[in-house]
Structure 1
Amino acid sequence: MTIRCRALLAFSLALAGPLAWAAGHAPTPTAATGGYSYPTEGRVEYVLTCMDDNGHDFANVYKCSCVIDKMAAALPYDEFVEQSTFSKYATLGGEGGNEFRVDRAKAQTKKFRALQTTAYQTCGLGPQKTPTVAK
Structure 2
Amino acid sequence: MIRKRVEGAALSGFALAMLVAQASAVEAENDYPTDARVDYVFGCMAANGQTRDAMQRCACSLDQLAAILPYDKYVQASTILSMRQGVGNRANEFKATKVFDDKVADLRRAQAEAEIRCYRG
TM-score, normalised with respect to structure 2: 0.68
Runs of 4+ off more than 4 Å: none
Q: Which has the higher contact order (CA 8 A, sep 6+)?
A: 2
* Change over 3 Å in CA distance of 1:111–1:42 after alignment to 2: same
Aligned to 2:91: 97
Which of 120, 124, 128 pairs up with 2:119? 124
Which of 68, 85, 102 pairs up with 1:74? 68
TM-score, normalised with respect to structure 1: 0.62
Is the contact made by 2:84 and 2:92 (CA closer than 8 Å) also made in structure 1?
A: no
Give the stretch that moved more between structures: 42-51 or 82-91.
82-91
Superposition RMSD in Å:
2.2
Identical aligned pairs, as a percentage?
33
The answer as to 2:103 corresponding to 1:108 is: yes
Structure 2: give runs of 5+ residues left out of the alignment: 1-22
Q: Displacement of 1:33 after TM fit? A: 6.2
Structure 1: give runs of 5+ residues left out of the alignment: 1-28, 126-135
